[in-house]
Structure 1
Amino acid sequence: MSTKPSAIYLASQSPRRAELLRQMDVGFEQISVDVDETPADNEVPESYVVRVAGDKARAGWQFVEQQGFKPMPVLGADTAVVLGHEIMGKPRDRTHGLTMLSALSGRTHQVMTAVCFQWQRRQWCLLNTTQVTFRAISPTELQQYWDTGEPIGKAGAYAIQGRAGVFVEHLKGSYSAVVGLPLLETHQLLNEINQTPDYE
């Protein structure tokens, strides 16, 4: 394995992304950023996910500079559940969450996760798209799942690494990307940054 930056900033408070970075043995510090995640008019899902991840990385770098923190690459990531061409965001309430889960039942959807790094004025981004197929799920089962509280705050109203794992009939692509951070793409970008002449 190539030498990677010894430490980075993770522009996210997600415990799932933090755990995946630990799995990669990457040193990091978490910082909070606030960016507008509203899709633009006629914005396709692929462009949306990359834009938001890039905005997070850029906002994180600006925060690091403003606070006078030690300069280190900033990782921003964003995950979207996409059914057809519709971006399924986080559920607003129980009704919205159950509607999304019902739509995913017995169908194949895409999970798009973009990872971006900001280092000074340069930004690197990669997008992973994984196909996830849910088995047919009964309305009672969906209601019981919602009542666990797990769907709250999750894209598409589910967490594959949690109880929703029993819904997955087939997955084609990257499991870690569905959780929130594609390990392969993250590793590739870290190596690219390491080869940048002005990186120390």
Structure 2
Amino acid sequence: MKVRLASGSPRRLELLKQLGHDVEVCVSAFNEVSGAENVVEAIVAANALGKGSAVAKVMGSQIPLVSADTVVALEGEILGKPQDSLEARQMLIRLSGKCHRVLTGVAVLYEEQQLVEVTETKVWFRNLSEAEIGAYVATGEPLDKAGAYGIQGRGAILVDRIEGCYNNVVGLPLTRLYQMMAQIGVRGF
């Protein structure tokens, strides 16, 4: 099945291809909104819908269109992608030994319909030593990831356990997306 992805995320593309879909990538020009932790669900939902709507305005929505926004939230703060190695190190020190939330807003636009939902996964980091943090940061992996880690890569060893959808932490909750597609009338997803 052909699906349009309003995201340049290689992880989201890989997840959709894992399901066997023909994926057309159309990076959205939407400027993401930001805000405080207490409205994080509204922020990721608005960003997901904004990204999808911007692409639908140009490309249409005759093909199912998927867009998403994922954030890491810890103690009242949204941790975005670190600007440099120092910021990545600081984020990982803060995450060490604690539980944080990963929230992904997902939007599906198809024909004249749109559906937006938010999925949350709780992630517990084990206690990390300075040496472990330094070694992980030195790999460069944290620099393009929200919260400065990738659970699907080397960052997997930082995580003690999760509660919720693993693929949500990677960037796209596939089971929920499947249910949303059915709900909006997409057949064959």
- Normalising by structure 2, report the TM-score: 0.92
RMSD between superposed Cα atoms in Å: 1.8
Query: Do the aligned residues in 1 keep the contact of 2:37 with 2:77 (CA within 8 Å)?
Result: no
Amino acid at match of 1:34: A
Amino acid at match of 2:26: I
Structure-to-structure mapping, 1:1-200, within 5 angstroms: 6-40=1-35, 44-65=39-60, 71-194=62-185
- Which range moved further: 52-61 or 35-44? 35-44
Based on CA coordinates, which of the two structures has the bigger radius of gyration? 1
Q: 1:42 to 1:145 in 2, by over 3 A?
A: closer
Percent identical pairs in the alignment equals: 39
- Which range moved further: 174-183 or 41-50? 41-50
**Partner Cα distance (2:44, 2:32) in 1:** 9
Cα deviation for residue 195 of structure 1 reads 6.1
**Partner Cα distance (2:122, 2:113) in 1:** 30
Query: Do the aligned residues in 1 keep the contact of 2:151 with 2:169 (CA within 8 Å)?
Result: yes
Q: 1:20 to 1:42 in 2, by over 3 A?
A: closer
- Structure 2: gaps spanning 5 or more residues: none
**Partner Cα distance (1:173, 1:139) in 2:** 28
Q: 1:105 to 1:42 in 2, by over 3 A?
A: closer
Deviation per CA, 1:114-165: give whole Å up to 9, x if none: 1101234431012110010000111121111111010111100110000010
Partner of 1:152, secondary structure, is: helix
Query: Do the aligned residues in 2 keep the contact of 1:44 with 1:85 (CA within 8 Å)?
Result: no
Amino acid at match of 2:137: W
- Structure 1: gaps spanning 5 or more residues: 1-5
Cα deviation for residue 194 of structure 1 reads 2.0
- Normalising by structure 1, report the TM-score: 0.87
Deviation per CA, 1:42-96: give whole Å up to 9, x if none: 861111111111111111101214xxxx831211011100002211111011221
Partner of 1:44, secondary structure, is: helix
**Partner Cα distance (1:162, 1:42) in 2:** 26
Query: Do the aligned residues in 2 keep the contact of 1:45 with 1:86 (CA within 8 Å)?
Result: no
- Which range moved further: 40-49 or 26-35? 40-49
Partner of 2:142, secondary structure, is: coil
